[in-house]
Structure 1
Amino acid sequence: MERIPLRDRQGLTEEEFLQTYDPSIFVRPSVTVDMLIFTVVDKQEENYRKLPNKSLKLLLVKRGVHPYLGQWALPGGFVTHDESVDDAALRELRSETNIDNVYMEQLYTWGEVNRDPRTRVVSCSYMALVDSTSLELKAGDDAADARWFDLTYSLHDEKRTTQGNDAANEYLVKMTFSNDTIILDATVKVMEKKTGKSSRIESDLIESNGIAFDHAKMIQYAVKRLRNKIEYTDIAFNLMPELFTLSELQQVYEVILGKELLPAAFRRKIAGMVTETDQFTKDAGHRPARLFRFNPNWRFI
């Protein structure tokens, strides 16, 4: 039976409509991708007998072009007409930082009208977790420099209100980004609102010193998302080498969550996610500790 094509109010079939469609009817915004690349590394300890603490780091690039020339931003760039946003994210990551073949997931879409002084820009942000010891970092394209920054993240002035079925939670997030020679900081105001069964989260950039565009808002959102995901997924293992101790793994969880964990409870939580090996650490001054590896089949146990 021959299928009769549907016609719209003007009597056009879809093929006829597409032949006459004028894409200039709507002003098309530019689309960019921005990558939030996190890693966890050992802090330097003067006492070699003490286990090293961990530090959460974020990759930033120094802008070599206008706007925000000389300020630090997330790696990223514009999406071309003939590529997907995922392909654009991978391309920009390679060209600006020399990083390739890492875990990456789309995080959020940012579409405020005036977020870029050049033109209307919608940005798709991506989050990635990497083992930085296996990477060779190198700036390129319009990035003048690329560096890892220690990231501290703290909540302040939290205010909770409830009225009937409505609830609101408002707080400030203060972040500091530092390395051997540079210190940057930013403050983001977060407003979480719940009305009946619907909820909404809004954020305002209160202060940003040295961080370009609205990237401080992206970073705040990414850290919160990372803290949520680490509780119920295996995302943290993207930060680990092939072999690791349970103490090292616990330190990674603690630095991301921003709090200490009870060792016994932590080991029960991740028991199915790891596989014991017959290998041990050989660090001078430390008692040998058993090494483990990630169990990719943990969800099926």
Structure 2
Amino acid sequence: MAGVPSIDHDPASYDRPAVTVDLVLMSIVDRAPVVLLMRRPIEPDLGKWALPGGFVRIDESLDDAARRILRDKAHMADAYIEQLYTFGDLDRDPRARVITVTYFALLPPDRFGDALKSSPDLTLAEIIVPWADETGGPVEVTDDSGPVALAFDHAAILGLAMLRLRGKLNYSTIGFALLPETFTLRALQDVHEAILGATLNKPAFRRRMLEKGWIEPTGIRETGASFRPAELYRLRTDF
């Protein structure tokens, strides 16, 4: 048709960016948020810590790539992971134009035991959030030796993961993924305080959790407590 610009639908006429998958696998240890990192064995950023990740193969879906990386690089047999966000800044990888799709999971700390034992190039590092508002931004990461320099834009990826997690904590049951099947209200508050980076009023927090209707008492009390054992709760099965 006259006056209508032609549109080239031939894929070969376009540049082809590479696609990777990165995994944000988080937990709570000693009342602090932590993330699983792997030491990079190659350039760029040789020796730096990074989120477990890798390139998507031409014959696999994004979900299949995420499960492969979970198995081969994070050394975890299975976990419920879901897409978090896609990062595509032009200069995020000096090798080429690389777009990464990040997957996210919250896991109890005992789920990382076998992975950490299987590879000296894996570590759980503490996440330090330097911002308190809703705008977010990159976070800092530290381990027993001090601050950890992250590869690529992984500090920004972790920052978005923390921002999303804080945002979802009040209206979803996402935080319960960090708890065993039965837990005390004290343990539940510890999880919320670790994620939010703030101390919460104990009576107000417990009242709010009970009013939400998410949890129910088990009628069982914890064992091994020094003082009066606290009652154990569980997430309701209809949530």
TM-score, normalization by structure 2:
0.87
Q: Given residue 86 of structure 1, which amino acid in structure 2 is its aligned partner?
A: D
Per the alignment, residue 238 of structure 2 pairs with 297
Structure 1 residue aligned with 2:159, among 220, 226, 230? 220
Per the alignment, residue 75 of structure 2 pairs with 98
1:152 CA displacement: 1.5
**CA distance 1:295–1:101, shift in 2 (3 Å):** farther
Structure 2: tracts of 5 or more residues without a match: 2-8
Q: Given residue 295 of structure 1, which amino acid in structure 2 is its aligned partner?
A: R
Q: Which has the higher contact order (CA 8 A, sep 6+)?
A: 2
Structure 1: tracts of 5 or more residues without a match: 1-8, 10-20, 44-53, 159-168, 185-209
CA distance in 1, matches of 2:94, 2:142: 26
Computing the radius of gyration from Cα coordinates, the structure with the larger value is 1
CA distance in 1, matches of 2:96, 2:117: 25
Q: Given residue 102 of structure 2, which amino acid in structure 1 is its aligned partner?
A: S
Mean Cα deviation higher: 99-108 or 66-75: 99-108
Structure 1 residue aligned with 2:176, among 230, 237, 251? 237
Q: Is the counterpart of residue 77 in structure 1 residue 65 in structure 2?
A: no
Q: Is the counterpart of residue 24 in structure 1 residue 33 in structure 2?
A: no
CA distance in 2, matches of 1:145, 1:215: 17
Number of aligned residue pairs: 229
Structure 2 residue aligned with 1:133, among 85, 110, 116? 110
SS at match of 2:167: helix
Contact 2:136 2:159 (C-alpha < 8 Å) held by counterparts: no
SS at match of 1:232: coil
**CA distance 1:229–1:254, shift in 2 (3 Å):** same
Per the alignment, residue 124 of structure 2 pairs with 148
SS at match of 1:103: coil
Q: Is the counterpart of residue 285 in structure 1 residue 202 in structure 2?
A: no
Q: Given residue 91 of structure 1, which amino acid in structure 2 is its aligned partner?
A: R
CA distance in 2, matches of 1:77, 1:174: 21
CA distance in 1, matches of 2:145, 2:226: 31
Contact 1:280 1:289 (C-alpha < 8 Å) held by counterparts: yes
Per the alignment, residue 117 of structure 1 pairs with 94
RMSD (Å), alpha carbons: 2.3
1:286 CA displacement: 3.5
More strand by share: 1
